[in-house]
Amino acid sequence: MTTKTPEELLKDLDSNDVNVRTDAASNPSATPEVLLKALEDEHKYVRCAAAGNPNATPEILRKALEDKNEYVRSCAAENPNATPEMLLKALEDKDVRYAATQNLNATPEVLLKALEDEDYHIRYYAAENPNATHEVLLKALEDWDYRVSLAAAGHPNATPEVLLKALKDTDYRVRKYAAGNPNATPEILLKALSDKDELVRKSAQESLQKDPILQIQVAALRAQSTET
């Protein structure tokens, strides 16, 4: 994209060509003045470009989150500059809560609130978010929809406590994901190896095959349990 001065971008926003105006609103050189003007544009694509611009300030994002068009509000909720407060507000908007839940700035507070949503997709995105903490994942494992629990059991942030809880799930698919999680400890894998479901046991075996040290540790734990 061609770098332009703020003056040139302001001039482009007066163009009759919506593509020219959209390019101006998404330009990395766009200043708050340019973006605020773009938010007044009649076309949603121009307003969305402004709402999604990395240079968007809190003032711009707050204004975009009040836009009449859901597409524009979603662009604001996806912006990496959106604050946790903005994302919490966006969760109350049925048309943009998807974007808010997937934002990489989503805090545990945002994700915990998202886990209360009636739509399982929203809860799934919350459990899948890279910022999901121990607390978030434990709550996700209590979800009635197995897909949300799967996201928690397979999450890279899953702690041993999370994985042990997942191994108690009634759905074998959740237990299978826990056994296949790279964070699974020797204790977890030993437990998974005695699971009633063949696929869970197979998942644990596959995890062991990838790590010779884990194989030794699990063998030692098994020997200790036999001795006692």
Instruction: State which CATH number among 1.25.10.10, 3.30.1490.100, 1.10.3720.10, 3.40.50.300 fits the domain covering 1-105.
Output: 1.25.10.10
Positive or negative CA dihedral for 95, 98, 104, 110? positive
**Residues 6 or more apart in contact with residue 167 via CB below 8 angstroms:** 175, 178, 179, 188, 191, 192, 195
How is 76-139 classified by DSSP, letter by letter?
A: HHH-TT--HHHHHHHTT-TTTHHHHHH-TT--HHHHHHHTT-SSHHHHHHHHHSTT--HHHHHH
Kindly report the number of other CB atoms within 10 A of residue 84's CB atom.
15
Would you give the end-to-end CA distance of the chain in angstroms? 69
**Residue with token string 């703020």:** 6
User: What is the chain's pLDDT, residue by residue, as a tens digit (228 residues)?
Assistant: 678 999 999 999 999 999 999 999 999 999 999 999 999 999 999 999 999 999 999 999 999 999 999 999 999 999 999 999 999 999 999 999 999 999 999 999 999 999 999 999 999 999 999 999 999 999 999 999 999 999 999 999 999 999 999 999 999 999 999 999 999 999 999 999 999 999 999 999 999 999 999 999 999 998 887 765
pTM: 0.89
C-alpha–C-alpha distance, residues 190 and 153, integer Å: 17
Q: Please state the domain extents for the chain.
A: 1-105
Residues making up the chain, counted from first to last: 228
